[in-house]
Each structure stands twice: as C-alpha cells, then as structure tokens.
Amino acid sequence: MRQASAVTALALILAAGLGSSAIAAPVTGDWGFDAAGMDKSVKPGDDFFAYANGGWDKATPIPADRLGWGVDAVIDTQAEARVREILEAPPAATPDAQKIHAAYQAFMDKARANALGAAPIAPALEAIRAVQTKADLAALMGRSPLGFQASIFDLDIAPDQKAPDRYAVAIRQGGLGLPGRDYYLEASFAAKKQAYQAYVAQMLALAKWPDPETSAKAVVDFETSIAEVSWTRAERRDPDKTYNPTTRAELQTAAPGFAWGPFLDAAGLQGVNRVIVRENTDPPPFRWTPMLALRSWRGVSDERYAPGFSGVFQARGGRSGGHERAVGWPCGDRAGSAREGAATMDDAVRGAGDGDTEAPQHASGGPVAV
C-alpha cells in the first residue's frame, strides 16, 4: 500500500529529525503460519482462501472507516499512531519540523474550521467556475498533484519498470469517486451508486453550486462513462500490459480530445517528453462531455476536500462508497504525510545523497527520464 509506506517513511524521518525517544520500540510478532485462522471445514480444492484464512476472515470485522482490513492496514494504523505522537510533540527547531507541526495544528483546529466553512477553498471553486475551455480545465487538472484537487488522469513518478536506475512519469486513468468500476456497472451496487449521487448533490449544495441535483446526476453519469472504459483490477496489475512508453506527440494522437501539453506543463513536467501510459485503450470521454458536467465533476469529485471542511461538510458527507469517512487526527496524519512528506523526504535524501548523478531530479532525489 503506497499510503502505508508513505506514512511509515514520514514517521521514521520525523522521528529522526525530532529526536523523539517516546516512540515505542518496534514489536516483532510471532513467526509462522496462523493455523487458528484457518477454516478446515472448507475443502482446499473448493476455496483455498477460505480454507487458509476463513477463520480469521469470519472473526475479523472491517473497521467502519476502512474499505478493507489486513496486515498492511494494521501496519498503516500503527504508523499513523506514531506519526500522531510525533506531530503532537513540541517540534524541533528545523524549518520542516516546524512547518509540519504548524500544518497539523491548523488542521486539527476544528473550531476555526467550523467558523470558516468552505471559505478556504472558495478560490479553488471560483477557478473551476471560471474555466471556459477544456484546455484550461486540463491545465487545472494538471495542478492536482500540487494540492487536494482531482483529475481524470493520475500522475506518478516512480522507478522505470524496464530501467530501474532512472525514474519515469506514469499516467494512470483516474476520475472515479467510488472505489472501482464495478460500483458503477454492476446491479448489485445500485444502492451504493444512488447513495453516492445523493452525497455528491449534498456536497455541491454546501458549495453553493447551481442546481446541485441535476449537476450531481451529470457527475455520476460522467463517472459511469469513465468506468465503462476503465480496465479491470486484473488488467491493471499486468506489468507488461501497463507498460506503454509514449511521447507527448503520440499521446495527443492517441487521445486527441484532451490537452496533454497544458496538463503536463501545469504539473511541472515541461521538460518531460516520455511518459509511461498505464491504460492505453479507450480514453475517458472527456472530449464529448459538456463543460457544465465537467465543471461540476471538478468541483466535487475530490472528496479529499471534505475532511478539511467544517463539521457540517463532514456530517453531510459522512459515508462514501459504503464506509464511514475518517475524521479528526487520522485525517491530519494523512494530510500531513501527503502534503509535507515530499519536502521532508527531499531533505533526508539530500542529507544522505551520494552526489553521483547530474541528471534532472524529482522530489525524491532520482533522475527522471525525459
């Protein structure tokens, strides 16, 4: 889980920077296979997962604010608790430690958040309302990695799968507010999809969006059209199928309905001409979607806004995709990890850098393929 590793990395770096001795020492559990977690009433040839894990699965509830639960989630939760302890301790006299502490304290000041309501994001909402062309909207989406906004394409910088000594920019299809394509397409999820549309309408109303009910339907219809061209989870796990090196010109030819140049430039990738496209079949129907629907989607699609809103937004938003929204310090942990982790990691990498490369750098210190 990328979030778990990011939180854990931030905890380790901050702990080193703050010199905290209060953090409990790591605990190593028992080794071996948990036979008590098996369900031997199931034949392994019928359902091996249930045979090997059925006892644990039946006895282990999924927390209300989680979509799933397992070893990674347990580690994630432990790391969050340690990050909380670090963030709430007096900060060290370093710029990054002070910034992170101040950001966390501001995030946790719910009295001020309730008083401000949606005012802090008013400029972002006005920027969305002011967009007139799809090229401008693409550029606005390109800035999403720099803030809490959303995009129908997710950008990531990671080691190149075929050349791990360098980094590459990867583009993956995003844009869905629900956990996956099946929530939009399968009849068994119809009730959740309907509840999600009601949630979208509530959020648009709180943001004083015009005609929130109609706009919410347009948003969910647009996301459904994205789901229809989205790959399955199995396809997205295929390391060869999801490795498609592409130039900017090839990208524009393959998906001419989206302004790739403004999108990449706004993300700070002006000098990058080579990207790895993860899904290279039908692109989302951005080209044919009315601007009104796109603006409405852009205004509400990123539910990451909600935890930073006043309590009214949290109470109305409450649930999304069938799970309760995490509130309070876990959101502060995650926001602090996401927003400040890059700067903190950058300092740590510079401090331990080997100085043996003059290639272009990205935030975590490696050469980026251009």
pLDDT reported for residue 31 = 78
In a shared domain, residues 301 and 170: yes
Residue at 138 is within a domain: yes
pLDDT tens for each residue of 302-313:
444 544 555 555
Q: The domain that contains 248 carries what CATH number?
A: 1.10.1380.10
In a shared domain, residues 191 and 289: yes
In a shared domain, residues 10 and 40: yes
Residue at 360 is within a domain: no
Residue at 361 is within a domain: no
What predicted TM-score, i.e. pTM, was given to this entire model? 0.68
Structural domain tally of the chain? 2
Residue at 24 is within a domain: no
Residue at 28 is within a domain: no
pLDDT tens for each residue of 39-61:
999 999 999 999 999 999 999 99
Q: Are 203 and 150 in contact (CB under 8 A)?
A: no
In a shared domain, residues 7 and 146: no
Least confident among 23-27, 282-286, 336-340: 336-340
In a shared domain, residues 199 and 299: yes
Question: Which range marks the domain in which residue 130 is found?
Answer: 114-326
